[in-house]
Amino acid sequence: MLLVIPVIDIKDGKCMRIFAGLDDKTEYYTDNPVKVAKLFRKENFKALHITDLDGALYGEMKNYEIIKEIAHSVDMPIQLGGGIRSIETAEKMFNELGVYRLVIGTAAITIPGFVERLVDKFTAVKIVIGIDEKLNNVVTNGWINYANITPLEFAKRVESFGITRIIYQDVTRVGNYGGPFCERIVELAENTSLKITVAGGIGSYAHLKQIMDLNIPRVDSVMISRAIYENRFPCQNLWRAIEKKDTSFDLPPAKI
């Protein structure tokens, strides 16, 4: 079984989604990320991922107060990424927010020794590396810049730093229900010992089954955003009907 982790992407204080890795193609879902987090908790998800998209773009967390309110409002493990580029910021997230683990992306490439220092101070259990791909090249700074390193090369590099888990996604598939990039997932799994969380493009049970059918135990979890907001999994009908009065946005019918 795969652990399904819902995603709250925050930009300008709102829940939103970037499509296909393009900053100018965005869709806002609600002005109230805290209410969304509470809904996910009521729907019995076991963990939550939050990304500060402004932080990912500008290099420092811009939505800290909202994320703090979420962290103090739900009793579930929170995985947080976006703009974490110093030991001090990481320590603040653990100590003040009580997040379960941090996701490091751009800083793992641009700041020499940063990942090793994080692992040494907080242990590998608490640090995950996000690998965002576009055309077999890792992209950074909110998917704007090419890092001139392939996903596999980057995965091997961070594994050598002591990292044990990565989050992998092809950003050209994000938000478009194009399905996971299974060939790359297999390549990463066969050439490293890393645990892999898959994100990007997942829009149906068929896509989840594609991942499960890979039969790779270390590919053990997925992160899903738009498909959950848009109620594309039939079991969400019951959950959302019960909670509908508590939501601040309309929910479309589920799709198989």
Check 24, 132, 220, 250 and give the catalytic one: 132
Active-site annotation holds for 23:
no
The residues, any chain, with a CB within 8 Å of residue 99's CB and separated by 6 or more, are 71, 78, 79, 80, 93
How many residues can be counted in the chain? Answer: 256
The DSSP-derived string for 194-212 is: -EEEEESS--SHHHHHHHH
Judged by DSSP in three states, 113 sits in coil
222 vs 18, 128, 153, 238, 254, CA distance in Å?
A: 18, 14, 22, 22, 19
Question: CA–CA separation, 74 vs 145, rounded Å?
Answer: 34
Identify the CA nearest to 150 among candidates 134, 169, 163, 166: 134
Active-site annotation holds for 132:
yes
Beta bridge partners of 138: 133
90 vs 6, 31, 87, 101, 185, CA distance in Å?
A: 22, 26, 5, 9, 28
- Reported as type and span, the H/E element at residue 166 is strand 165-170
The label of the residue with tokens 């739900």 reads: 74
Identify the CA nearest to 256 among candidates 220, 199, 207: 207
List the structure tokens of 46. 């076991």
* Residues involved in catalysis: 9, 132
